[in-house]
Structure 1
Amino acid sequence: MLSLRSLAAEEWDAWYDALETAFGSVESAERRAMWRALTELDRSLGVWDGELPVGSASAFSFRMAVPGGAVLPTAGVTMVGVLPTHRRRGVLKALMRHQLDEIHERGESLAVLTASEPAIYGRYGYGLGTWRLRVQIARARVRVLSPDDEDGRIRLRLVDPAGALADCERLYAQQVPLRPGMLARRPGWERLPVLDPPSERNGHGPLQCVLAEDRADGSLLGYARYTMADRWQEANAASEVLVREVTAADPGARAALWGFLLDLDLTETVLAPSLPLDDPLQHLVSDPRRLQPKLVDALYVRLVEVGDALRSRRYAAPVDVVLEVTDEFCPWNSGRWHLHSTGPDKGAACEPTEAPADLALSVRELGAAYLGGTELSSLAGAGLVRELRPGALAEASRAFGWDVAPWLPHGF
């Protein structure tokens, strides 16, 4: 007999043990303690076989930026796992059903997740909304070209990552509304970017932080966090720089930080595993081919309440279309929705309608396009969006796009 219920505090360790077993991994004590502190018990579910936890799902109460700068309440779906002994028994489906119902009842119109196996979540309405760019740079083959800091405005300073955390977090918070997909960090989450357990370093040294400051007034213009692996090939230094984060408020600070990272002594390779697709680094370096860019899927987006979600973002161009939406898992979304906006400087209306449909698509495709990084025309080319009125596809595709690529700054 399997039972599904909310998690109690005293059950957390056994519940998380089952999750680690499902993933075949064991986390450091430091990371485990952080996740325990961040777990929202009232948003955490477990499936039990008698006294044994066999399945789990949780959610974080995030706020996420969407096109236009609004930062919306968003459920960050996490800690989803099922023991291998209990697969193919409806455990995951029951967890997803219960969780999405709860999210809907809370009034959150969006849910997001990062997927260990992307094929799983499409059937629950999640569409791939953001990609990340991974670059691996042979640093001796490239240099930062511009913009030059001719007047010496920018000063670089190495600091203790924890000691500079408050200042860096303030700068990060200023950037959140500017890029769809970024998460406003709630109290406690500021520890994630500087978490640095020795057992997780994989041959790298301790976390480092460099600040880019205005020399005149000392104001913070940017920062970078990175680690270095001490490696040698015979008698030659061949260390690797792992870039965890580069955040900058202006082009000069960004160029100064990347110039620093690409000019560290004794290093051969600079690896940055997570950058936005439109990161300016691609235009800062002398030879973009040397970046060896690779696309990696990142954030999967689900519209839990279609009307509220579509009303809450801005649109890059005027749009007036009727969307025929199918949503088998959350049937309250199924039907025709009239979306109307006069452009990026105005709000949007989205209401149920009986008017003839202009486009037909599932909630999964709406999730993929929602943050502006996936074109509806591209989805139509794959047969996932059907144009029912000539011209409607081009109109909607232009409107759903955005001038800044969406990006997830960190996992959860």
Structure 2
Amino acid sequence: MTTEVRQLLPEQWDTMFDRLERAFGGPADSPEDRAQWRRVTEYERTLTVWDGADMIGTAGAFSFRMTVPGGALLAVPGVTMVSVQPTHRRRGVLTALMRTQLDDFRERGEAVAVLTASEPAIYGRFGYGVATKQLHGTIDTTRVSFAVPAGAERVRFRLLAAHEGRAACEEVYARLVAGRPGMLARQPGWETRPTLDPPSGRDGAGPLHCLLAEVDGEVRGYARYAVTGEWSLAGADETVRLRDVEALDPVVYAALWDFLAAIDLTSKIAFHNRPADDPVQHLVSDVRRCGLGYRDGLHLRLVDVGAALAARAYSAPVDVVLAVEDAFCPWNSGNWRLTADAKGASCERTGDRAELALPVRELGAAYLGGFGLSPMAGAGLVRELRPGALAEASTAFRTDPEPWLPHGF
């Protein structure tokens, strides 16, 4: 098979998206969703693979800015729209796409790449490690109450259509981005994504609502949710499907959850993507009746080990030589001396003896601070070569709060 990787042309967008939908299966995206993806497509960063006149592979990237530990915003490509047609699986098409992308990221000077995976097992062989978790759950609000701190009586609520509250929600979101690693600063065109609400995608729920929480006339938090229409012979048994909930302080955050739990005719709050350390776990009266669980969130790859490790801050002083193994991007392989603390870091190549050895995938998993190096060592994925180096590095890499990706791409 002779294939060619090419940059997507604007007139090829519909073909590209049709091929993407065919590869993923299931129903087609709504016209509203399709239009949104077209608006944010970066053609110069979108690749197609051709077998003759047939487009048989796709992969794109979005130009994001992501918070890293210490609060800095790092330019990162968000890998997206990756597909291979069923007729061309296991022929090296995906490998060719990953090779072309990573070489391009390196040429652009982008030290870190990120993605969300349809199947977590796919991207590890290209050096991507799972760097954040998503907390999901279904809270039985007939049995669970919420602790509401003093001051909640000052919170006033306004209920709007989702698009009507967009500007106020974006202001709150923007103020939160720097406080948690993994969050993405909203790029132009992405502000409409959280409020998309095509009727074909509601799956039995009503329209998306925007709940604004105000204190002394200032919007301090918001929630976006829809309510299902479930009834039984016993009466209403509806679910609040929570899409987003954010606040600038703990009082408003607790008040929002308390409001959601008291919506008439509902008996549950279902949510699918909250931070692993979300405070809601400490607000509920009975955590067993919340159906909590985790799944992988952001997958992260170090494109330039030295630049990436120097771009973040660390929770404790560390001076360690890392032996990095990276077969797919061999320019990263070798020994790197990381010297860092809470104020900043340097990471340079060194001929000094290695003190900690690990694959680039595990280094990517630890990069945002949500996964410790010590548990990875317990799994045999990280090797300590100097006594004490593991504990020193593991402590330095961890962050508080935990990293979180608020939305997919």
TM-score interval, smaller chain: over 0.9
TM-score by length of 2: 0.98
Which of 374, 377, 401 is residue 374 of structure 2 equivalent to? Answer: 377
Q: Give the AA of the match of 1:86.
A: H
* Offset at residue 149 of structure 1 (A): 2.7
Q: Give the AA of the match of 1:257.
A: L
Aligned residues: 407
Give matches, 1:181-196, under 5 Å: 181-196=182-197
Deviations 1:106-135 (A, max 9, x none): 111110011111111001000000011001
Cα distance between partner residues in 2 of 1:396 and 1:356? 16
Partner in structure 1 of residue 70 of structure 2: 68
Cα distance between partner residues in 2 of 1:149 and 1:281? 18
Cα distance between partner residues in 1 of 2:155 and 2:263? 18
Deviations 1:159-207 (A, max 9, x none): 2221221111011011001001100110110111000000000000000
Which of 94, 102, 105 is residue 92 of structure 1 equivalent to? Answer: 94
1:410 aligns with 2:402: no
Partner in structure 1 of residue 344 of structure 2: 347
Cα distance between partner residues in 2 of 1:51 and 1:72? 38
Detail structure 1 runs of 4+ shifted over 3 Å in the superposition. Answer: none
Cα distance between partner residues in 2 of 1:145 and 1:117? 37
Partner in structure 2 of residue 4 of structure 1: 5
Partner in structure 1 of residue 161 of structure 2: 160
* Offset at residue 312 of structure 1 (A): 0.5
Q: Give the AA of the match of 1:65.
A: T
Partner in structure 2 of residue 247 of structure 1: 246
Q: Give the AA of the match of 2:233.
A: E
The runs of 5 or more residues in structure 2 that have no matched partner are none
Secondary structure, aligned partner of 1:16: helix
Q: Mean alpha-carbon deviation: is it higher for 388-397 or for 156-165? A: 156-165
Which of 387, 394, 407 is residue 397 of structure 1 equivalent to? Answer: 394
Cα distance between partner residues in 2 of 1:164 and 1:270? 21
* Offset at residue 56 of structure 1 (A): 0.3
The runs of 5 or more residues in structure 1 that have no matched partner are none
Partner in structure 1 of residue 292 of structure 2: 293
Q: Give the AA of the match of 1:21.
A: R
Deviations 1:10-59 (A, max 9, x none): 01111111111110131111101110111100000000112211000000
Cα distance between partner residues in 1 of 2:236 and 2:160? 25
RMSD, aligned CA: 0.8
Q: Give the AA of the match of 2:146.
A: V
* Offset at residue 233 of structure 1 (A): 1.2
Cα distance between partner residues in 1 of 2:69 and 2:292? 25
Partner in structure 1 of residue 265 of structure 2: 266
Partner in structure 2 of residue 176 of structure 1: 177
Q: Mean alpha-carbon deviation: is it higher for 349-358 or for 47-56? A: 47-56
Partner in structure 1 of residue 332 of structure 2: 333
* Offset at residue 235 of structure 1 (A): 3.7
1:359 aligns with 2:361: no
Cα distance between partner residues in 2 of 1:3 and 1:357? 41
Cα distance between partner residues in 2 of 1:247 and 1:411? 17
Q: Mean alpha-carbon deviation: is it higher for 281-290 or for 85-94? A: 281-290
Give matches, 1:193-272, under 5 Å: 193-214=194-215, 216=216, 218-272=217-271
Cα distance between partner residues in 1 of 2:391 and 2:168? 43
